[in-house]
A and B are shown apart, each in its own frame.
Chain A
Amino acid sequence: MSSLSLWISSSVAVTARSESDHRLRLLSSSSATIATSPALHFCCLRTEALKLGAKSNRWKVVAAAVAPQNGSASDEFDYNLVIIGAGVGGHGAALHAAEKGWKTAIIEGDVVGGTCVNRGCVPSKALLAVSGRMRELQDEHHMKAFGLQVAAAGYDRQGVADHANNLASKIRSNLTNSLKGLGVDILEGVGTILGPQKVKYGKVGSSGNVITAKDIIIATGSVPFVPKGVEVDGKTVITSDQALKLEFVPDWIAIVGSGYIGLEFSDVYTALGSEVTFVEALDQLMPGFDPEIGKLAQRVLINPRKIDYYTGVFASKITPAKDGKPVIIDLIDAKTKEPKDTLEVDAALIATGRAPFTKGLGLENIRVETQRGFVPVDEHMQVIDVDGKLVPHVYCIGDANGKMMLAHAASAQGISVVEQISGKGNVVNHLSIPAACFTHPEISMVGLTEPQAREKAEKEGFEVSVAKTSFKANTKALAENEGEGLAKLIYRPDNGEILGVHIFGLHAADLIHEASNAIALGTRIQDIKFAVHAHPTLSEVLDELFKSAKVKINTSSPGVAPVTV
C-alpha cells in the first residue's frame, strides 16, 4: 500500500476535495447495495469507515471486508471496470479497484500473471538464484577467501528448470487467489472492444459474451520482439519464452541484444557452463545503462567470463540448426549494412526487446490506431484516438502503451488509472520508478543517467554534480567478499534534488528503493543524509553516497523556491 502514501503527498487542497467527492460517490453506490445485499453489516461498516476518514490502512481493511460483495455496478453497466489482460499491470489495477469496492472483471486469454509471472521476471529470478549460487561455488578463490572448501559444484538441468517452473506456478496461483479473494471476476478468453464501454470476451472465432463496463483498461502487455530475418524454431533459435524453460544448456549460445534480458541470460548460461557471444546493434554493450555503470558492469560481468561480443552489427539472418548444421547467424554492419561476419553457434537467444501485444483488441471500433503496435495514451494513460482526442472511459497501461516496459511500472500505472477514474487527478512519475537487472552482482537505477541529466541541465540551465561511493569501502560487502561495486548519485548541487541514482553491486536491486522513494516523495539530499542506517549493512553504501554529495544549501525549506547560491 506504499503507493497510496504517494498520492496523499500530492497537493493538499486537491486531495481534500477529490476525497470528499469520492466519498459521496461511494456512499451513493453502497446505498444501492444495501437495497439488494443481505450482508448489511458489511455495508454499514464501510460507511462507518469512510466517515472516519480515508487513511490508507483503513481503506484496506474496509475493502477486504466488502470484497466478497465486489461492490456493485450502477444499473447501466455489468461492471464498473473491465481490465483486458491479467498480467502484473492488470492485477495491480484490479486489486486497487476491488479495494475501492468496484465491481471488477479481468479478461485473460492465456494464463493469469502474464509475461512477468509466467515467462519473464519470475522464472528468470529462479534461474538467476541458481546461477548466483553456482557462480559462488565455482569460484575457488572466493571460497578460499572464506576458508571454505567445496567439492566441484554440479547441477541437474531438469532440477533447475523445475525450480523456475514451480516458482511461476506458485506465484500464478497466489495471483489468481488474490483476485478471487477480492471478488474480481476472472473471465477466460480473448477480450475485444466492440464499442464505447462494450467488451466481448471468449475463444477466438466464437461469438463470445458481451459485457458492458463503465471504464475499460487495456493491459495486454507484450511479446518478445523478433527482428526480420530471424527464424525462431523454439529449440535452437529461441526467445526468452523458451529460454526460461531451460530445455537444454548449449555449449555456445549467441545472445542477440545486450539489454537487461540478454545480460541476465548471459549470467545464467555462463554459470551453467555455456559460452556466450553477444550481438549488439549499437556501438556499445548495455546501451540502456548509465555509461559509467555499463563500463564497470562490462568489466565484471563480461570480460572475465566466457563471453565475447560484436557491437555495431545486426543479425540479418539467423537459421536454426538442422541437418547436422549449427545455428548460422549472418552479421551485417549496423550502419553500412555490409556483411561483417558469420557465426556458427549451438543456439541463439533473441533478446532484442519486446513488442506490444495489441492485435485483435478491436481498437478500430473506437477509432484508435496503434503506433508501432503501441496504444497511444496521455499522461493519465487515457487512450488517444486517430484525431488526437481522448477516448472516454478507455485506458491503456503497461507494455501495451510502451511508456516504461516494466512490470511494476504497469502496476503503478494501473493504480494511477483507478485513482484517476475515481476523480483523484493522478500522474505516475516515471522518473521515480526504479529498474533492476538481476545479474551477479546486480545493477539497479532510478531517474536519469548522467548524459541525460547533463542534457537536461544544459537545456534548463542548472548545474549537475555527481557523487560516487564504492562497495569496497562498505563493511558488509567486504564481509561477504563482494567488494566489487559502485553507487552513483546524480544531483543538483544548488537545491539538493536527486536526478538519478545508479548502483552496481551486491543486492543493488534491493538498495535502489531508498533513492526511488526519495525521488517519489521529493526528498532532498540535505534532508535524507541525516537519516540513520543500521551498521553494518549494504544500505550504508547509499548513506555514504548521500553524505558525500555537496549541496550548497544546508536544509531545504518547504514551500520556498530553491535559491541558487
Chain B
Amino acid sequence: MSQLLHLGTSFVPSSSTALRRNPTSSPTIHISGNKRTTIQAKIREIFMPALSSTMTEGKIVSWVKSEGDKLSKGESVVVVESDKADMDVETFYDGYLAAIMVEEGGVAAVGSAIALLAETEDEIAEARSKANTSPSSSSPSPAAAEAPEKAVGAPEKAAPVKAAATVTVAKMASSAHPASEGGKRIVASPYAKKLAKELNVDLGNVVGSGPMGRIVAKDVEAAAAAGVSVAAEDPKPSPSSAPVKVPASTGIELGTVVPFTTMQGAVSRNMVDSLAVPTFRVGYTITTDALDALYKKIKSKGVTMTALLAKATALALVKHPVVNSSCRDGKSFTYNSSINIAVAVAIDGGLITPVLQDADKVDIYSLSRKWKELVDKARAKQLQPHEYTTGTFTLSNLGMFGVDRFDAILPPGTGAIMAVGASEPTVVATKDGRIGMKSQMQVNVTADHRVIYGADLASFLQTLAKIIEDPKDLTF
C-alpha cells in the first residue's frame, strides 16, 4: 500500500523527466513527448497516475476542481479509482485547470492525459482549444498501448461528449431565462438539481410540476428529452396555472451546422442500409366505423388507438407468419417466434420505435398501459435497447396530422412496415347500389420482396381489414 502515500508524484509535466518515472516507457515515445512539450511549454498535461503496481487503467471518480479553477501545489484535483482504492490526486504545480479531457466516470489508461494544466490564466483558452482539437493528444504510454483498446479510446470518447455539451450550452444561452429574469427563486428538489447538472439543463427554463410548482426530477428529465426547448411563460409558476410549454423553434440559429446526435446518426445509418433491401408496396383501404365505435367505448379504460391498431396488426400477423418474418443474410429467412410490433414515435431530435412485445398475446388493456409506459420512457430517453430494437413488424401512423396516405421505408432486419393514414369520412357506393358515408383509412405496407411476395401482403391486408371492420376479437 506504500505507493498510495506518494500520489503527488503522479502529476507530472509531459517532459522527459516525467516520462522517465515510468520505468517501462520506450525511448521513441520520449521523443514524441518532448516534441510536444516544446510546442506548449507552459501547458502541462495531467496524466492518469499509476496508483498501484498492478494498475493499468483508472476511472475518474470525481473532479475535485472544475475547469478554470486555480490550483496550488499540493491541492487535490481529481479522485481516481484504481483496482485497489480511490485516491485523491494532488498537483505538483501551481496553475489553472484549463481543460478536463476525461469526464467523471470516464476511464483512462495509466499515463494518458486526463486534463490540461495552464500556467497562467491567459493560456487557459489555448489549452482548451488544444484539448478540443486533439483530444487524443495524450502520449500513448506503453501501458496504454498494451491496455485494451477501450482504455486508449477513453479520452477520445470524452471529446464528443464535451462537444455535445458545448452545443447544448450555446443553445441554452439563446433561449430565455424567465425565472431568473424575474429575480424569482427557483424551487427544485435535490435530485432535480443534481439531474439538471448532469443533463446540462438550466433550471431557469424548466416548469415545475411538483408540489407548489416545485421542479422535480421528472420535469428535468422531460426538459432534457425535449432538448432545451422548454420555456415558461409565467416567471413564477403557481400551482394552479398549468405549465405552458413553448417549443423553442425560435431557439434554432439559422445557418448553423449541427452535428448529428447519436440518435440521428443511428437513424441515418439505418436509412442508408435500407437501400440494400428490394422493397415493394401494397395499399389497402379499410373501413373504420366499427373500430371507431369500439375505441369510443373503451377509451375511458385507457385504451389508445395505437394499441388497437397494434393489436389488430398482430392478430393478422398470426395468420400470415411470413409477413412477420425477416431476412438478414440474403440466403435464408427467419419466421420470428414472437410478434413484436414496433411503433415509430417522433421525439425531439429524432425518431424511435418502442416495441410492444407479444402484441398478439397481451390483452388490449395491458397493451395500452405498456404503450403509455414506453412513450414516457422514450420521452425521458430511458428506453432500454430491448425496448426499441426487438420489433418484428413496424407501424408508422401519421393519421393524427391529417395525412391520408404515405410511404414508409423498411427498417433493415425486419420484413415489413405499415404506414397508416388518417381515418376520414368518405362517400362510398355500396353493393346494393346505394351511396353511404363511411370512415375509411388507407394503409400502405412496404415489404422485403426477397421473402414477402405480393400475394402474401394482399392476403395479410385482407385479414387485417376483416379484423378492423369487425373488431370484436381485439378485446377478447
Contacts and interface: CB of A to CB of B under 8 A. Distances in A.
Contact of A468 (B1, B62, B210): B1
Interface in B182-201: 185, 187, 189-191, 193-194
Interface string A250-265: 0110000000000000
Interface in A261-310: 275-277, 295-296, 299, 303, 306-308
Contacts of A401: none
B84 A472 contact: yes
B462 to A, nearest CB: 42
A337 B5 CA distance: 41
Contacts of A307: 190
A486 interface: yes
Interface string A499-522: 000000000000000000000000
A346 interface: yes
A526 interface: no
B86 A344 contact: no
Interface in A460-482: 467-470, 472-473
B210 A308 contact: no
Contact of B212 (A295, A299, A303, A326): A326
Contacts of A295: 88
A544 B84 CA distance: 13
Contacts, number: 58
Nearest to A307: B190
A306 B190 contact: yes
A544 B210 CA distance: 50
Given A303-B62, A308-B194, A468 B185 contact: no
A325 B361 CA distance: 48
A57 interface: no
B83 interface: yes
Given A468-B1, A470-B84, A472-B85, A276 B185 contact: no
Contacts of B193: 308
A365 interface: no
Nearest to A343: B187
Contacts of B210: 251
A524 to B, nearest CB: 20
Contact of B191 (A299, A306, A472): A306
Nearest to A484: B86
B190 A473 contact: no
Contacts of A472: 83-86
A469 B1 contact: yes
Residue of B5, B79, B85 with most partner-chain A CB within 10 A: B85
A49 to B, nearest CB: 51
B4 interface: yes
Contacts of A342: 185
Contacts of A176: none
Nearest to A303: B62
Contacts of B212: 325-326, 344
Contacts of A469: 1
B211 A548 contact: no
Contact of A486 (B2, B5, B85, B187): B85
Contacts of A252: 189-190, 214
A468 B6 CA distance: 13
A344 B214 contact: yes
Residue of B1, B185, B217 with most partner-chain A CB within 10 A: B1
B194 A306 contact: yes
Given A326-B212, A472-B84, A548 B190 contact: no
B191 A275 contact: yes
B370 to A, nearest CB: 15
Given A326-B211, A486-B85, A299 B194 contact: no
Contact of B86 (A277, A296, A306, A548): A296
Contacts of A467: 1
Contacts of B2: 548
A276 B190 contact: yes
Interface residues of B, number: 25
Contact of B190 (A275, A341, A486): A275
A468 B84 CA distance: 12
Given A342-B185, A344-B212, A470 B190 contact: no
Interface string A32-71: 0000000000000000000000000000000000000000
Contact of B211 (A296, A303, A306, A346): A346
A299 B187 contact: no
A190 B370 CA distance: 62
Contacts of B85: 470, 472-473, 486
Nearest to A295: B88
Contacts of A276: 190
Contacts of B62: 299, 303
A135 B107 CA distance: 26
B226 interface: no
Contacts of B380: none
A367 B251 CA distance: 77
Contacts of A251: 189, 210-211, 216
Given A296-B86, A326-B212, A346-B211, A275 B189 contact: yes
B383 interface: no
B290 interface: no
B61 interface: yes
Contacts of A468: 1, 4-5
A296 B81 CA distance: 12
Interface in A337-361: 341-342, 344, 346
B96 to A, nearest CB: 23
Residue of B88, B189, B212, B216 with most partner-chain A CB within 10 A: B189
B79 A308 contact: no
A308 B1 contact: no
Nearest to B197: A308
A306 B218 CA distance: 13
Interface in B75-114: 79, 83-86, 88
Nearest to B76: A295
A6 B61 CA distance: 44
Residue of A296, A308, A342, A346 with most partner-chain B CB within 10 A: A308
Nearest to A326: B212
Interface in A515-565: 544, 548
B62 to A, nearest CB: 7
Contacts of B211: 251, 326, 346
B61 A299 contact: yes
Contacts of B191: 275, 306
A307 B192 CA distance: 10
Nearest to A300: B86
A325 B212 CA distance: 8
B475 to A, nearest CB: 28
Nearest to A277: B190
B322 to A, nearest CB: 35
A469 B1 CA distance: 7
Contacts of A306: 189-191, 194, 217
Contacts of A486: 85
Contacts of B83: 472
Contacts of A296: 86
A544 B1 CA distance: 10
B1 A548 contact: yes
28 contacts: A251-B189, A251-B211, A252-B190, A252-B214, A295-B88, A299-B79, A303-B62, A306-B189, A306-B194, A308-B190, A308-B193, A326-B212, A341-B185, A342-B185, A344-B214, A346-B211, A469-B1, A470-B1, A470-B86, A472-B83, A472-B84, A472-B86, A473-B84, A473-B85, A484-B86, A544-B1, A548-B1, A548-B2
Give me the 9 closest cross-chain CB pairs, A-B, nearest first. Answer: A470-B85, A306-B191, A308-B190, A275-B190, A275-B189, A275-B191, A472-B84, A252-B189, A548-B1
Given A252-B214, A299-B79, 11 more contacts: A299-B86, A308-B194, A344-B212, A346-B211, A468-B5, A470-B1, A472-B86, A473-B84, A473-B85, A544-B1, A548-B2
Interface of A: 251-252, 275-277, 295-296, 299, 303, 306-308, 325-326, 341-342, 344, 346, 467-470, 472-473, 484, 486, 544, 548
